[in-house]
Structure 1
Amino acid sequence: MVYLWFLTTFIALVLTIMLINKASKHFAWHYLPWIVAFASFFFCSFASWTSYLTGWTPWLYKGWYVAGAVLVALMGLGQMLFLKLNKWAILFSVYIGLLFIWFVWSILYAPVDHQLLTRQGEIGGSALPRDVRLFSPLFTIPGSLALIGGAFYSALRHKSKEGWLIGLGALILASGGTLVRFDIQLALPIANLIGITMIFLGTNTSSLSSRSLSATNA
Structure 2
Amino acid sequence: MLELDGVSTFYGGIQALKSVSMKIEQGEIITLIGANGAGKTTTLMSISGVTPPREGEIRFLGKPIHTMSPDDIVALGISQVPEGRRIFPYLTVSENLEMGAFLRKEKTEIQKDMDYVMGLFPILAQRRNQPGGTLSGGEQQMLAISRALMARPKLLLLDEPSLGLAPMVVRQIFEIIRKINAENRTTIFLVEQNANLALQVAHRGYVMENGRITMEDRAATLLTNENVKKAYLGI
Give the TM-score taking structure 1 as reference length.
0.30
Higher helix fraction: Structure 1 or Structure 2? 1
Larger RCO of the pair (alpha carbons < 8 Å, separation 6+): 2
Give the TM-score taking structure 2 as reference length.
0.28
